[in-house]
Amino acid sequence: MEEIRRNDTAELIFSDNITLRGIVSDFSANRIVFLIMDDSVAEARKIKALSNLLVVVNTDYGLKKTYSSVIEELDENGCITVENNPSVPVIQKREFVRISSDITFKIKKDGMLFNCTCLNISGGGIAFNTSETYFKLNERVQIIFQSKDFEQDIAVEAIIHLIDKNKIVARYVGLNKYDEAKIVKYVFKKSAKKLR
């Protein structure tokens, strides 16, 4: 994974449904050292050497994935070291990093626009709340992200996946690579700011 750089954010996804969030602290040709984020340290203590995982790193060139094995467990500096191993089978829990966000955006449905506030967002979907009760499970809507949060307005199709009181989760459908890259870039910029 020669595209990775120090401070790139990543998810370390293990086959036993543990997902750790971290940032690249150091790397060589086939080894990567991850500084584990505070919210993942408790889970990271459960990980043992030789555990297999899928590493998903957000690089300047997009998401890069590699199968790996843990070669050094969580150390006193809060780091885990992995070694690339493309022959290891791993079950992937989630494709995209998800972060908390409070951006506002609009949803277009039946020719009407609804104001919504984001709860969390990823390259695969968004959770939000709204005072509107106009949405139904499995219906198709259009989400309109505004240029103040992204480099330009982005309109994406989505399916309402979950409704829980005022919390609604929608998954993007038919998202083109250009719009996906804009959303993922926003997610990782926001994630990087939280690490500072």
- Which residue from 133, 134, 122, 126 is spatially nearest to 169, judged by alpha carbons? 126
Q: Kindly report each contact of residues 38-44 with a partner whose C-beta sits within 8 Å and lies 24 or more positions away, as own/partner.
A: 41/74, 41/78, 43/18, 43/19, 44/20, 44/74, 44/78, 44/80
How, if at all, do strands 140-145 and 125-129 pair? unpaired
Would you say 144 and 107 are in contact if contact means Cβ atoms under 8 Å apart? yes
pTM for this model (two decimals)? 0.51
C-alpha span between 52 and 49 (Å, rounded): 9
Instruction: For residue 192, give the H/E element and its range.
Output: helix 177-195
pLDDT of residue 86: 52
pLDDT of residue 29: 74
pLDDT tens by residue, the chain, 196 residues: 556 888 889 999 987 789 999 999 988 878 899 999 999 999 999 999 888 888 988 877 778 888 889 999 999 999 999 998 654 443 333 456 778 888 999 999 988 999 999 999 988 889 998 876 788 888 999 999 987 888 788 999 999 988 887 789 998 888 888 888 888 888 877 776 655 5
